[in-house]
Amino acid sequence: MTPTTETMVGIGGAAESTDMVLNIGPQHPSTHGVLRLRLVLDGERITHAEPVIGYMHRGAEKLFEARDYRQIIMLANRHDWLSAFSNELGVVLAVERMLGMEVPPRAVWTRTLLAELNRVLNHLMFLGSYPLELGGITPIFYAFTEREELQHVMEEVSGGRMHYMFNRVGGLKEDLPAGWTARARASVAALRSRMDRFDGLVLGNEIFRGRTRDVGVLAPETVHAYGVSGPIARASGVDFDLRRDEPYLAYGELQDTLKVVTRREGDCLARFECLLEQTHNSLDLADACLDRLADLPPGPINQRLPKVLKAPEGHTYAWTENPLGINGYYLVSKGEKTPYRLKLRSASYNNIQALTELLPGTLVADMVAILGSLFFVVGDIDK
């Protein structure tokens, strides 16, 4: 047998009996995230892939233990910077569950509305950036135009463009501004009228379909094994959505409007289709919430809290269907004003681990298409 020659490219360890080890990244922190992929190649084909994480780890879970229940909302807000409102929401739901607190109906419906608007903002970013990673620059301009439409109403209600800090234990920071619901409804309608750009411009593009169809097929068994969730899991036929299967907020009353989007193919194209169709449904849910808010009588938007808020001794687990998948919050309290422990289960952390199964056997040229179709935020991994 002829001995093989090993060649090292990039920074990495031993090549492990193959002829090339290639490091993709880590990128500079000024980019949208710092992730390193350690690939073992046989010619143009990937034989082994290892996601290397932790380059921007901020230790948020440890910081939770040194801040009170009002301050930790700020920390939880930031790990997935595209889903800030949803991040806040999971923390306050966990604390409210520990306290046995009932939130006013007006706050429940407003939270549901803002969570769905935040979901649309998140999805629009990936609907624009994923074609960009495959060479199509036009969709990102449309995506940012539509995001601005919603950013205006989110900024008006909360004062923040990315980190809203609008949730509070017991409800929301303050009531909606006068006339805000009409402006929100107009923004939703305007956005819905222009969403067909992504259907025609991206899904109708034969180059995009050629780059994504039958590429990076994720089997349902792998979804379950790695705890993959959200649109990525549903694109592989795993029909699970907490909003329907374990309703929280007002989702139990929105079952006629809520549509859980699934596909069977499990490839990059199916993941993009799920994300796009889910965006359409979130706009429908936002309209339904606005209708219900219009019918609600005037009332409080939050509960009055003591000056020093302490959760009773015990533990609880709250989970939500965040835009990128399931977020879980395991809260342990010793009866103090700070959490004894708050463990965060973020969607991106589990989703990115599936790369160890998705990339082997594929071509290097398809690596970017597969990586981009997992729709992750690196801060959500290095929380």
Q: CA–CA separation, 360 vs 350, rounded Å?
A: 18
What is the reported pLDDT for 15? 45
Which residues, 6 or more positions from 269, have their beta carbon under 8 angstroms from its beta carbon? 209, 212, 213, 215
Looking at residue 379, its pLDDT comes to 86
pLDDT of residue 204: 87
What are phi and psi for residue 343, nearest 5 degrees? -95, 130
User: What DSSP line would sit under 116-152, residue for residue?
Assistant: HHHHHHHHHHHHHHHHHHTT--HHHHHHHHHHHHHHH
What the chain holds in terms of domains, given with CATH numbers, is 20-52 (no CATH), 60-381 (1.10.645.10)
pLDDT at 33 over 90: no
C-alpha neighbours within 13 Å on the C-beta side of residue 20: 14
Question: pLDDT tens digit string along 18-27?
Answer: 468 888 877 6
- pLDDT score of 129 more than 60: yes
Across 302-311, average pLDDT: 92
Tokens, residue 218: 């994720």
Please say if the pLDDT value at position 13 is more than 70: no
pTM above 0.85, yes or no: yes
Q: In the block, which residue shows the tokens 């593009």? A: 205
Element (H, E) at 342: strand 341-345
Does residue 248 have a pLDDT over 80?
A: yes
- Digit-coded pLDDT (tens) for 90-110: 999 999 999 999 999 999 999
Q: Which residues 6+ apart lie within 8 Å of 129 measured at CB?
A: 140, 143, 372
Q: How far is 272 from 205, CA to CA, in rounded Å?
A: 13
* Mean per-residue pLDDT of the chain: 91
Over residues 261-275, the mean pLDDT reads: 96
Looking at 26-30, 33-37, 169-173, 359-363, which range is the least confident one? 26-30
